[in-house]
Structures are given as C-alpha cells and as structure tokens.
C-alpha cells in the first residue's frame, strides 16, 4: 500500500482525468443550477491539500475557480453557491491554498475531520437547497451505502453525487473476507497504486463481512465471490458484475446512475469507476455528454503520444455483447426495444438519459441521434420540435433542449 504522504507531490494521469471530469461538469452544473434561484451547496468530501506540490490544482481549487467563473459569466455575482471541504489529514495546507477565493456572500469552509462523521450533520439543514457531493476517497471504507440512502430523504431541491468507487479494491477485500485466493490473478495487479485514506484491514472476520455489505448496500457480492472462487467467472467479469450490482442498488433510491471506468495506466484494464448519481434527467444527460467528451479528449491527446486511452469507454456495456465490441446494429436493437416499451411520447433529454441509465455509455450521442433520424425516415417515430419553425420560416433542426426549445419523440402506431 502506498504512503499517502507522497500522494500530493505530483498529479498523476488518473487524478487528472477525475478532476477534468469534475471541472467540466461543474461549469455546466453551476450555470444551470443558478437558474433555479435556490442556494447551492457543494461539498468536496475528501478535499486533500487543494493543490499538488508540482503546482497543479486539486479538486478544491478547480471547484472554486469554476464557481467564480460561472458567477462572473452569468452576471449573477450574488448567486448563492456555498462550498465546503472536508479533510482529515491536510486541512491546514488546504486553508492556505484557498484563501484567495473566499467572498462575503459565497462562503468557503474547511471542516477538519472524517467525511463519514461530518457529512450528515452538514446536510441536515439544507432542505430546499441544490446539493452536489464530490466523494473521492482513498479506498472504499468511507462509502457507506446507508448514508446515501438517508441523505436522499433530506428534502433537497436537487441532489447529485460523483463518487469514486474502487471496484477492484472492494473485490480484493471481498476475497480476503471470504478466504478466496486471488493473488495470482492479473486482474488485481497494480492496486497498490491506489492510496488508502482509511485502510479497510479486511480479514475473514464477521465484522469485515458486515462492513463490506454496509459499503455495497447488501450481500449480493458474496455470490459473485463464490462464482469467482469456483472459476465460473474471471476477475474482470466479477468486477463488472459487482459494479453493476452496486449501480442497481443505487438505482433503488436514485433515478439515474452512470459510471465511467478508469485505467491507472495506459494498456491496463480499468481499476476503478467514477459513478454519477442524480434524480433529474438533465443531470444524467449532461454527465453522459461530459463523460463521452472526456473520452474523446483523452483519445485524441493520448493517441498523439501513441498510447492507449486511460478511459475504457466501452467497458460499461451491460448487454450480452462479447468483448465490449458494440456495433451500430446491436445499438439499434436496444433502441428499438427502448422505443417499443417506453411511453408513446417522451422528451428527447429524458429518452437519452433513460437509455444510458439502462444500458451504459455504449456510444456517442451522435450515434443515437442518427438512429432516431433513421427511425423517423422509416415512419417508426416522429421527432417534434417546439418551435417547429425558425424566424425565417424554415424547419428547426436543433438537438438541444432548453427553456424555449423542446423535442418530443413520438412513437407511431404500428
């Protein structure tokens, strides 16, 4: 296990990916959430030092810069966006690094202590507020599923979470708890590169098994470990099943759950997943766009260096497609079923959000749009835009919904 005192010396590639995912989404999130005219409360639950010793910004400085930029660009300097940072080990350094961002109206607070001991207290008086939690722990111990379940009942105006779920770390500890050998499986290689905030210290005790079920939101993981033990599934398949089980548990209490699998190094399989949770279709739609754009950026940047991408974008496939190879025809089959079993009329944003929520990030949104156009030409659906005409009288062709623009997907009667 790595010494976390070394973690902030320089920013590694997978930290860069997480922070870019967060920063790009927060820009859109803050801009849209200001339009609700309700206060917003953002919490970085494992904030760290705020920036790395090599000068690169950490998640706190990224969030603060995005907040101030959004308030300035929208001309809404009095918009209420409160930021809180929870940090156990580096709160003194963090305070020094954020001093230039505090304003009288948009306060910034550092809370020294453990996320799991502070978060519910911080949220209990936020009824009617827009809440966003960035939960990026060093390890899995702090991810108590019961906390997520409880805070969803606190009466927020909206709630979104971006969670770093160390799925392979969880499965490794699950094997330890049930005395299952995994040491020679390449699927678990390089896990020590992930720093632990609070080591789980998993062994075969009853207490450890209870802790894992508390993290996972149930004991479904035991059957997955058993299948792995009996060599019915590989370590990689076991991790996928575990991640799908975790997302299924979250969907019992939240409407939309997406995940983005991340490699620690080029050429590796994914080692952890960034999981986005939301109760609103807009949050799911825009995070899906964000994740897919980050994939495109990383592919372009890394291909220039002739390295494979750190974002394994096809790994989220939940259909029966083998080897993560998804053809357009296979996506069309899923789209046909989605249309046939859905409502007769549905908004475009809702349609795309629900498709990705059910099937994962199988492809770029442009592919889904091209299939919708093809189905309209075949008379399977109608695509109804409001307004239907431009100011010059031409048919509108927009694909983005906003305050005065709406798109309805209407299923034609067969």
* pLDDT higher than threshold 70 for residue 254: yes
**pLDDT at residue 17, rounded to an integer:** 79
Of 133-142, 156-165, 201-210, give the lowest mean pLDDT range. Answer: 201-210
How many helices (H) does the chain have, and how many strands (E)? 13, 10
Mean pLDDT of 326-332: 88
Q: What is the mean pLDDT of residues 393-410?
A: 94
Q: What is the pLDDT of residue 73?
A: 77
What's the burial of 13, exposed, middle or buried (CB within 10 Å: 0-12/13-18/19+)? middle
The DSSP element (H or E) to which 72 belongs, if any, is helix 59-73
Asked if the peptide bond before residue 256 counts as cis, ω within 30 degrees of 0, the response is no
pLDDT in tens, 230-247: 999 999 899 999 999 999
| Beta strand pairing call for 272-278 and 158-165 | antiparallel
Residue 199: per-residue pLDDT: 40
8 A C-beta contact, residue 196 and residue 174: no
Give the rounded percent of residues in the chain with a pLDDT score beyond 90: 57
Which CATH number does the domain 323-411 belong to among 1.10.3470, 1.20.1740, 1.10.357, 1.10.10? 1.10.10
Strand pairing of 130-135 and 406-411? unpaired
Domain definitions of the chain by residue range: 4-316, 323-411
136, pLDDT greater than 70: yes
Average pLDDT, the chain: 84
Instruction: Give, in words, the CATH class of 4-316.
Output: alpha beta
β-bridge partners, 44:
85, 134
Query: What is the predicted pLDDT for the residue at 294?
Result: 76
How large is the average pLDDT for residues 77-82? Answer: 76
pLDDT at 8 over 70: no
Q: Which residue has the higher pLDDT, 328 or 249?
A: 249
Residues sharing a CB contact under 8 Å with residue 51, sequence separation 6 or more, in sequence order: 57, 58, 60, 61, 97
The mean pLDDT of 146-168, rounded to a whole number, is 94
Listed in sequence order, the residues at least 6 apart from 248 whose beta carbon sits closer than 8 Å to its beta carbon are none
- Range list of H helices, 269-364: 281-304, 328-341, 348-359
How far is residue 159 CA from its own chain's centroid?
A: 13
User: Looking at 70-79, 297-306, 378-387, which range is the least confident one?
Assistant: 297-306
Residue 201 Ramachandran class (φ > 0 left, ψ -120 to 50 alpha, else beta): left
Report residue 361: phi and psi, to 5°: -85, 75
In this structure, what are the phi and psi dihedrals at residue 273, rounded to the nearest 5 degrees? -135, 140
What is the number of residues in the chain? 414
Euclidean distance between CA atoms 322 and 85, whole angstroms: 42
């Amino acid at each position: 296990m790595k010494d976390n005192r070394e973690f902030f010396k320089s920013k590694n590639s997978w930290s860069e990916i997480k922070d870019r995912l967060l920063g790009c989404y927060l820009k859109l999130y803050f801009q849209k959430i200001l339009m609700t005219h309700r206060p917003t409360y953002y919490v970085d639950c494992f904030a760290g030092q705020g920036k790395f010793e090599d000068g690169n910004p950490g998640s706190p400085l990224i969030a603060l810069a995005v907040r101030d930029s959004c308030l300035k660009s929208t001309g809404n300097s009095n918009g209420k966006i409160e930021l809180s940072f929870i940090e156990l080990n580096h709160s003194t350094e963090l305070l020094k690094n954020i001093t230039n961002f505090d304003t009288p109206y948009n306060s910034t607070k550092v809370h020294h202590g453990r996320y799991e001991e502070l978060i519910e207290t911080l949220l209990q008086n936020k009824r009617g507020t827009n809440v966003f939690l960035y939960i990026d722990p060093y390890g899995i111990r702090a991810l108590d599923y019961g906390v997520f379940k409880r805070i969803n009942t606190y009466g927020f105006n909206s709630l979104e979470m971006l969670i770093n779920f160390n799925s392979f770390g969880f499965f490794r500890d699950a094997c330890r708890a049930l005395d299952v050998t995994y040491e020679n499986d390449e699927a678990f290689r390089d896990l020590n590169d992930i720093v632990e905030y609070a080591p789980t210290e998993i062994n075969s005790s009853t207490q450890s098994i209870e802790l894992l079920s508390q993290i996972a939101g149930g004991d479904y993981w035991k059957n997955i470990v058993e299948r792995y033990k009996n060599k019915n599934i590989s370590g990689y398949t076991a991790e996928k099943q575990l991640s799908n089980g975790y997302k299924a548990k979250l969907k019992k209490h939240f409407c939309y759950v997406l995940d983005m699998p991340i490699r620690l190094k080029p050429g590796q399989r994914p080692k952890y997943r960034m999981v986005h949770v939301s109760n609103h279709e807009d949050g799911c739609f825009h995070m899906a766009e964000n994740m897919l754009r980050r994939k495109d950026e990383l592919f372009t940047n890394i291909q220039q260096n002739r390295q494979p991408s750190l974002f394994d974008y096809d790994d989220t496939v939940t259909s029966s497609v083998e080897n993560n190879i998804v053809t357009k025809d296979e996506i069309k089959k899923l789209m046909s079923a989605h249309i046939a079993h859905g409502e007769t009329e549905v908004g475009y944003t809702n349609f795309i959000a629900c498709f990705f929520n059910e099937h994962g990030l199988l492809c770029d949104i442009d592919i889904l749009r091209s299939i919708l156009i093809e189905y309209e030409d075949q008379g399977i659906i109608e695509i109804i835009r409001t307004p239907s005409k431009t100011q010059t009288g031409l048919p509108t062709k927009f694909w983005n919904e906003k305050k005065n623009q709406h798109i309805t997907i209407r299923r034609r009667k067969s």
